[in-house]
Structure formats: structure tokens, C-alpha cells
Structure 1
Amino acid sequence: MKNVQLHNIHKALNAKMLAFAGYNMPIQYEGVNAEHTTVRESVGVFDVSHMGEFLIEGPDALNLIQKVTTNDASKLKIGDAQYSCLPNDNGGIVDDLLVYRIKEDTYLLVVNASNIEKDWNWIRSKNDNNAVLKNLSDEYSLLAIQGPKAIEAMQSLTSIDLSEIKFYTFKIGDFAGIENVIISATGYTGSGGFEIYCKNSEVEQIWTKVFKAGADFDIKPIGLAARDTLRLEMGYCLYGNDIDDTTSPLEAGLGWITKLNKTFTNFEFFKTQKENGIQKKLVGFELVDKGVPRGGYEIVDSEGNNLGNVTSGTMGPTVKRGIGMGYVPTEFSSVESEIYIKVRKRLLKAKVVKTPFYKG
């Protein structure tokens, strides 16, 4: 198991540490609901340094990215970020990721921790354009400072006007006494804030100054368990749960990042799938009956016939109801469609709803 750079700090804060994607990670500190509420109402800090970072450079960098991702990276200006995914040869998803345009011919790809090696090998296998690839995953740390008070709490640490960093853009500059830090606004919580990419040798100084600057705003460390409930209230996909090697981005509601006006890996499959129509669809649902849906629970119709399975589910700490996502046949995917969640021998009534569950 690998340790993130701040491992000893998390231990000193009495974090509950668990293995996640090959890393010892802080899952919670004072409790999921309390940490979730901190991010919704004030400001919290996640250490997500287990994420992977690949640098792609050179005149052929864009060509490679266009070939391996579904979204159109040619639209990116320097300082823009983009959500995208890596399609595989079988109609599924290798991973979902973020693409940052750093310079004219320099891009940063941020991938999921559990897929670092798989993604790296996949992208390299497609690199017949001679783009220069560098795997920086073990050299960089990543902090996500999230919540409605994040900008106000952190502004004293940088000369950059944080309010000017719009959603899915970033700036590179000074932060907490460190130069050349990437400050981006690509949050996964739905409560605003930004992310800090820095070298491992710099992250402890940044962590310390972040908590000092945020002291008057009741800043707290937040674990991955609350990160999961926050992203689920927003209806954001989690790789390995809601999307994987077998799920099509069109089925997952990610048609908006699947640009069929360009060619990419397995492009013809997705084009045909869109033309013919998908057979199943990822939907959000909320329980009508009392209960808590969990990943793996069966989704059935009123007669008890199997429709699919819950891919993510929880009791939403902010929305105060049982919520979840799962794949169902398209005829059950319309808003207000009645479905049931099988919890042991009970069938709990639920309805399909439009996400996000949390409206902010």
C-alpha cells in the first residue's frame, strides 16, 4: 500500500484510514454527515493526492488526446479544463478524466487512482503520433478545498483573484508561499471551491497555511466517505460504480461529452449506438418508502422482475432522503417512472428523478 505525502498528518488528526485504490486514504475524521455538512455550509479540505496526473506534450499532443478521448479537446483554450472519458474497444469506458490545457502544446490529464496503470498503458498504446508522455502521479499532490466559503477563506494565500476562476477553468500562480501552483475549479461536490495541484515536497506547507487561513471560517479536513455522499447528491458518476469497462458513455448519460463530430477510439460503435438508440440508461432515483438504497441492491418492477442494480446509493445527508443511481431499461427511465428497490425480502417503492438531487 502506498501512503500519500500527508499520511502522518491524517493519522495525527485521528482519521480513519482505509485502503483505497492501492493507497492508505483518510475515509473520515469526525463522521460522514458532519463532514458533508461542513462542505455544504462552509469549507472543507480533501486530500485526493492518490489521483493520477499525466503530462502530454509536443506538436502531436492534441492529436493523441483527440484520438483517445470522447470530448472535443480542440475547443480548449489555455487555462481551460474539460471533463471527458477514455472509450475502450468494446463500447465501454477505460476511465473518466479531466483534461487541462496548460500551454499551447502541453496538456495535463487527471485520472482516477485505481486506473493509473491501466490508463497509462492504454494511452501509450495509442501514441503513434510521437507525443511526449510523462507520468507525474507519484510526484504530485492534490488538495480539494470545497465549500461556499472556500474563496473568501483562501484569498489571503494568493495574489490571484480566486473569484475570477470560473467553473472548469484554472490559473497557475502563487499559493500559500509556493510558486507555479495549479488552482482549478473542477469540483466534485457541487458546493464550489477549487483544487490545488503541487509537488509532494510543497503540500505540507500548503496544508498548514490553508488551515491557518481558514481558521476563522471553521475549516475542517474531510474524508473520502463524505466526498462520495457529496458527489452522489450531485448525480456525478464514480468510476467502478456507475461507469466501468462495460458501460457506454451514452448509456451513462454522458452523451454531452461524447462528440460524434470527431473520430476517436471505437467512434463508429458509439455513432451506431446513438442512431439505433440505447437499451438501458443510468437514472437517478429517490425512495418513496423509508429506507436506504445501497450499491448492489436489485432494482425491480412492481411484479418483482429484475430491471438492474443500484450502482450508487445512500441516505443523502443534505437532501434527507434515500437516493441512488442505477441502470434500467429505457422504458423505465422517464422522470416519475415507478421502480422498486429490493432490500432483503422487502420491495421499497422509488421513483426516477432528474439529477442533481441537491439543487444548491
Structure 2
Amino acid sequence: MELRTALYDAHVKAGGKMVPFAGYCLPVQYEPTGVIKEHLAVRNQAGLFDVSHMGEILCQGKDALANLEKLLTNRFENMVDGQARYSLMCNEKGGVVDDLIVYKRKDNDYFIVVNAANKEKDFDWMLKHQFGDVKFENVSDQYSQIALQGPKAMDILRKLTKEEYIPTKYYHAVFDAVVGGMPCIVSKTGYTGEDGVELYLKNEYAEKMWDLLLENGKEEGLVPCGLGARDTLRMEASMPLYGHEMNDEITPLETGLNFAVKMDKPDFIGKAAIEAKGEPKIQRVGLKVVGRGIIREEQDVLLNGEIIGHTTSGTQAPFLNMPVGMALLDARYTEVGTKLEVDVRGRKVEVEIIPLPFYKRAK
């Protein structure tokens, strides 16, 4: 039996087509809008997403920072209060346990957001490797998360809150914000490639906040969006997804996440294995379909009939209006402009390597 977020009734009322995802029942799209219109609304106006299935874990105590430095690939000692930082959590082989975001609330007090399907696994991993004066607490059940994304997102938010509650910088959050009279965390983050915020709030406020945002966003063209648009948006923006572009076997360097891996740190779990592997022999690339067809994940990529890797994600990109995909390939054959083929259910579809990201919003 799938779990329901606090917004389940709101989705059904709005015409959400509910499907199982990461143990939850969530809308894949809304009728009659559909994935393409939802996607384009986020690129051109604004969209609203229920991401309450994501996990939240607290890390507190005198040794909280030391634990994070050992567990995670990024650095955290130079963060200011309210700052967020993306990181990977690796296993001893250098593979990725999960990718996550760490927020510093204050000294010795961190708020960690993890992927929905991994939250129990992540929490167990943290407990297994904790040391000293630290407490990890899984508070996922206490929070709903609503993402307001798109070029009009901040205009909508400003109708409901004071400027002091809106983070001025990307990857920063205000932890004691009030939006529409409701206490919440306002985080300038997202998974769409657009401007916007993610709001964390107690479950009891979720439906009221959802309705309030939709009501106040009518003029701006705000629409509710489902999992379908969330995936096509992150694909256009070339954002990696756990279980696709990374997993327990693939290192962060192999999937191009070097910016979040500080190899000059004294140590972190997986560092020795990543060093031992040396220069990555596989690399994540962007593919544009130049033949006919759409590529999906887990399809063989061929050069002159030889398999040189596999696709990790693929879709028709609605805003760019072309089929694209990401793939992990033998690093020797990853030059931009290289022509390859993808085996789509026995049919060879011609593709070309193009630079990532496919889409980047104009600042």
C-alpha cells in the first residue's frame, strides 16, 4: 500500500493522475493539462510541485561537522548559517549511496535533504558510520515540501511574504520564514533549471499553502505539475537522478560531479577507492537524436557496431523540441560532435554527442 502525502486530496481534486512512486502515491500529471503543458508552464511562467516524498534528516551535536566531513564528499566547514550545499555520500568502493543537500541551520546543527527512495538506506548508513557527540534524526514524516518553480515564481512568492523571508542567493534558505501566515523554511533551490523556491513546512499547513499559492499565482499562469514534468524538466537541465546517472557502482567523478567532490579533504568514505581508480574511464555525456526515434534509459550505445556504454535517461525535451538523452560512455569516445547509435528495441537510432546542460535559463 503506497503512502499518501498531505496533499493527496488536493491532487485528486485538481485532476491528478495518481501513480506509485518511491513508496508514495503521487500525480504523474494533471488532466487535462498534461506533461508538455506543465513543463512549458515552468519554463515560461510557473509550476507547483508536491515533493513531500523527499526525506529530511537532522545532524546535530558537537561532532556534527566532523561526521559530515567524513560521510560526504564536499566540504562544509566554511558554510554560513542558512547556506545549502550539494554533496554525494559514497560507499567504501567509491560508488554513490545517494546525492543530497546539506543546510547549515547554525553551528552543530544541520538539515539534510535526501532522495525519497533512499531515505531509510541513507539514515541507516549515517547511523552505521556515526562517531563522537552527534545525533542523526530522521524527521521525514514531519515535513511536507512544495516546490514553486519558474520565471514568475518569485513574483508569486512576494505576494505572500516579506522580502526578509526570501533568500537573496541561490542555495541559501531562511529557516524561520513565514509565508501566507504559515511558518516554513524557504529555500532558493530546485530541480527544474529555473528560478524558484522549495518550501518545507509542517504537514498540517501543506494543503492550505498549496491552495494559497495556486490562488495567488493565477495571474502569472501557475499550474500544478506532476512527476512527468519534473523528470522532463530535470532532463532538459541535465540534472542527474539517483538510480539513473549514479548508483552504488558509479563514482561521482565518472558521472561528472567533480565540483561536489573535494579530493583535497583529509578523508571521506570512498576517497581511497576513487583515488585508486585514477582518471575516470567512463564519462557522462549528452546525446541529441539526429535520426528518428526517442531514446530511453538502459539502452546500449554503439560506435561502429561496438557497445561503448549505455543511456541513463532519455526523453522528448518539450521546450527544446527535440529528443535528448544522457549516457555513461567509454571516456575515449566522448568528444562533442561524435556520431553514435543507440539500440532502441533492436532498431539503431543515430545520435550525436552535444554539450551539457541541454538547457540553461538566461540569467
Task: Tell me which of 156, 161, 164 is aligned to 1:158.
Answer: 161
Cα distance in 2 between the residues matched to 1:81 and 1:316:
29
Cα distance in 2 between the residues matched to 1:349 and 1:212:
46
Aligned to 2:254: 251
Task: Provide, for residues 85-134 of structure 1, a one-character-per-residue CA deviation record: whole Å limited to 9, x for no partner.
Answer: 10011220000000000112110110000001100000011111231111
Cα distance in 1 between the residues matched to 2:211 and 2:321:
34
| Pair 1:113–1:101, CA change in 2 (3 A) | same
Q: State the shift of 1:236 in Å.
A: 0.5
Q: Which amino acid aligns with 1:130?
A: D
1:201 match: secondary structure: helix
Contact 1:176/1:205 (CA < 8 Å) preserved in 2? no
Matched, 1:294 2:301: no
Cα distance in 2 between the residues matched to 1:141 and 1:210:
15
Q: State the shift of 1:270 in Å.
A: 1.5
2:40 match: secondary structure: helix
Task: Tell me which of 186, 200, 205 is aligned to 1:202.
Answer: 205
The answer to which of 289-298 and 243-252 deviates more is 289-298
Listed as ranges, the gaps of 5+ residues in structure 2 are none
Contact 1:332/1:338 (CA < 8 Å) preserved in 2? no
Q: State the shift of 1:76 in Å.
A: 1.4
Matched, 1:13 2:1: no
Structure 1 length normalisation: TM-score? Answer: 0.96
The correspondence of residues 307-346 of structure 1 with structure 2, limited to 5 A, is 307-346=308-347
Aligned to 1:354: 355
Cα distance in 1 between the residues matched to 2:98 and 2:107:
25
Contact 1:234/1:356 (CA < 8 Å) preserved in 2? yes
Q: Which amino acid aligns with 2:132?
A: N
Aligned residues: 356
1:121 match: secondary structure: helix
Share of identical aligned residues, percent? Answer: 37
Aligned to 1:271: 275
The answer to which of 46-55 and 126-135 deviates more is 126-135
Contact 1:165/1:171 (CA < 8 Å) preserved in 2? no
Runs (4+) off by over 6 Å = none
Q: State the shift of 1:222 in Å.
A: 0.3
Contact 2:165/2:178 (CA < 8 Å) preserved in 1? no
Aligned to 1:85: 88
2:20 match: secondary structure: strand
Aligned to 2:306: 305
| Pair 1:162–1:233, CA change in 2 (3 A) | farther
Q: State the shift of 1:349 in Å.
A: 1.6
Contact 2:167/2:174 (CA < 8 Å) preserved in 1? no
Contact 2:52/2:146 (CA < 8 Å) preserved in 1? yes
Aligned to 2:50: 47
Q: Which amino acid aligns with 2:59?
A: I
Q: State the shift of 1:161 in Å.
A: 4.7
The Cα RMSD (Å) is 1.2
Matched, 1:120 2:123: yes
Q: State the shift of 1:40 in Å.
A: 0.3
Cα distance in 2 between the residues matched to 1:344 and 1:119:
35
Q: State the shift of 1:271 in Å.
A: 2.3
Contact 1:160/1:174 (CA < 8 Å) preserved in 2? no
Q: State the shift of 1:83 in Å.
A: 0.7
Q: State the shift of 1:162 in Å.
A: 6.6
Contact 2:93/2:274 (CA < 8 Å) preserved in 1? no
Matched, 1:131 2:134: yes
